[in-house]
Amino acid sequence: QKEVEQNSGPLSVPEGAIASLNCTYSDRGSQSFFWYRQYSGKSPELIMSIYSNGDKEDGRFTAQLNKASQYVSLLIRDSQPSDSATYLCAVPMDSNYQLIWGAGTKLIIKP
Amino acid sequence: SAVISQKPSRDICQRGTSLTIQCQVDSQVTMMFWYRQQPGQSLTLIATANQGSEATYESGFVIDKFPISRPNLTFSTLTVSNMSPEDSSIYLCSVRGQGPYGYTFGSGTRLTVV
């Protein structure tokens, strides 16, 4: 059974600080990884994808992938109240392209 | 990335009735995915819909309850049949993008069964 695990939170971070979200996965053969943000009552939106070991930066967001340790993380710098949302980690099953979803981490940015 | 128009956005339905949810994609896609999301929960895959073939259902979901239509590469429908209050949830369609674009979602249908 392939699994993706996240701490459900909530994770509370002061405004302006760095929010760190973590995700572990069970399938060592996984090649691509996605971070989605979901505001309450809205559908998930893709904010980061990462395929190679190391860091990938996009604005205030940095995704980090460590395939040897089977974890992927998302860092949000200079956190804003508008970053308050649930962050979902997703990993495709290569055989049929279905996504395996983590439970999601609820992030709260306190002004 | 693909843009998906999902309808209706919300509905309140009587138990025992059926609701059909539509998703229209602005480009041709091979695979479409239908999800259910209970409040405060992650996404649960209902089925994968390929054009020209029967949908593939996940454990716990059956065609009689959730029939899916996929008449062409840009359109799909999910019907929630013989509804009960337990079917109250958000239903989402999704398509797989190319490369770094990941998977795109429709805006969701919030279903309440009374």
Scanning every residue of chain B, which has its alpha carbon at the shortest distance from the alpha carbon of A89?
Answer: B42
pLDDT digits 0-9 by tens, B33-61: 999 999 889 999 999 998 878 899 999 99
Query: What is the structure's pLDDT at B40?
Result: 87
Amino acid at B56: T
Please answer whether residues B93 and B21 qualify as being in contact, where contact means their C-beta atoms are separated by less than 8 angstroms: yes
Q: Which residue has the higher pLDDT, B96 or B33?
A: B33
Rama region for A20: left / alpha / beta (φ>0; ψ in -120 to 50; rest)? beta
CB contact (8 A) between residue A49 and residue B48: no
Among B42, B58, B90, which would you mutate to test the A interface (most chain A Cβ atoms within 10 Å of its Cβ)? B42
Does residue B97 carry a pLDDT above 90? no
Computed over every residue of chain B, the mean pLDDT equals: 93
Residue whose pair of structure tokens reads 């795109």 in the numeric block: B104
Measured between beta carbons, which residues in chain B are less than 8 angstroms from residue A96? 48, 56
Measured between beta carbons, which residues in chain B are less than 8 angstroms from residue A94? none
Query: What is the structure's pLDDT at B74?
Result: 94
Count CA atoms closer than 13 A to B6's CA, side-chain side: 27
Please answer whether residues A23 and A71 qualify as being in contact, where contact means their C-beta atoms are separated by less than 8 angstroms: yes
Among B6, B31, B41, B43, which would you mutate to test the A interface (most chain A Cβ atoms within 10 Å of its Cβ)? B43
Does residue B105 carry a pLDDT above 90? yes
Measured between beta carbons, which residues in chain B are less than 8 angstroms from residue A104? 42
Query: From start to end of chain B, where are the E strands?
Result: 4-7, 10-13, 19-25, 31-37, 43-50, 56-57, 68-72, 75-80, 89-96, 103-105, 109-113
Measured between beta carbons, which residues in chain B are less than 8 angstroms from residue A102? 42
Does residue B114 carry a pLDDT above 90? yes
Scanning every residue of chain A, which has its alpha carbon at the shortest distance from the alpha carbon of B43?
Answer: A101
pLDDT tens by residue, chain A, 111 residues? 789 999 888 999 999 999 999 999 998 888 889 999 999 999 999 999 999 999 999 999 999 999 999 999 999 999 999 999 999 999 987 666 789 999 999 999 999
Query: What is the structure's pLDDT at A38?
Result: 97
Amino acid at A78: D
| Chain A touched by B103 (CB under 8 Å) | yes
Query: What is the structure's pLDDT at A93?
Result: 79
Measured between beta carbons, which residues in chain A are less than 8 angstroms from residue B105? 43-45
Does residue B1 carry a pLDDT above 90? no
Does residue B103 carry a pLDDT above 80? yes
Query: What is the structure's pLDDT at A94?
Result: 66
